[in-house]
Chains A and B, each alone.
Chain A
């Protein structure tokens, strides 16, 4: 396989994109759940009043996602990473993130 056909060299940039996304989705789920269970946090998450706590929860998660992506990309670009581990952790974080946003599941965790 030629480098031209492959495009990016090494799988590090792919690992960075996927792991950062998994982490961002997990953080989104955690903050959303925490804001649902802790009203003071929900109040702090109101960064744009018409949208309410969703504005802070989503913006914070996006900042963490993009920040992690930038850092990991700088460290891993052009290198090979253990995709089995990196990808596995990324998928688990993504699935947990989706689960945490599902209200019946989240309600059990916070005892609502």
Chain B
């Protein structure tokens, strides 16, 4: 099975960092809603594990955004050298046809900016939940605001991830060294 380095890095960016951010973020959101109905807090060890979980969630969000902006996105928007074909230059390939231009002018233009709001909002939520322990959910307005920020973080992550998957399907990021997996295809 043949795969290029750029395809592998894009996979790590989207499926590992982005995908796991959405998984852990959604889990955190469910835990936050659930905590409203808790009658007693956790032990100190429980709070420490809680903090680790939030730390991992936030780190995954930042890893997804930073790897996207500074590793994958430059491959996406690379300038086509004179005389070269458009394969391997996704942005130029999408903009070359009116039927596919929207994937860039709407999809990527939205994704590249809104994606930053996912780890930003999740960082704010994590800081509140970790610093206040269960106290944050006992203040009605604060609980609602924190949940709104958490939900927005997940929504922004979904928008970024969803568009990313669709754009990569329309114009895949490929190139770099080729690797063979499991010897198949030799």
Contacts and interface: CB of A to CB of B under 8 A. Distances in A.
Given A11-B142, A87-B145, A25 B120 contact: yes
DSSP class of A's interface residues: helix, strand, loop or mixed? helix
Most chain A C-beta atoms within 10 Å of own C-beta, residue among B69, B105, B138, B145: B145
Contacts of A48: 70
Interface size class of A (residues with CB under 8 A): 35 or more
Interface residues of B, number: 41
Contact of B131 (A8, A36, A61): A8
Contacts, number: 122
Contacts of B142: 11, 14, 83, 87
A54 B121 contact: no
Given A7-B131, A18-B149, A103-B110, A87 B141 contact: yes
A52 interface: yes
Contacts of A54: 69, 73, 112-113
B117 A97 contact: yes
Interface of A: 1, 5-8, 11, 13-14, 17-18, 20-21, 24-25, 28-29, 32, 36, 48, 50-52, 54-55, 57-58, 61-62, 65, 83-84, 87-88, 90-91, 94-95, 97-98, 101-104
13 contacts: A7-B130, A11-B142, A14-B136, A21-B149, A51-B73, A83-B141, A87-B144, A88-B145, A94-B121, A94-B149, A98-B155, A101-B114, A104-B106
Interface of B: 41, 69-70, 73-74, 77-78, 105-106, 109-110, 112-114, 116-117, 120-121, 123-124, 127-128, 130-136, 138-139, 141-142, 144-146, 148-149, 152, 155-156
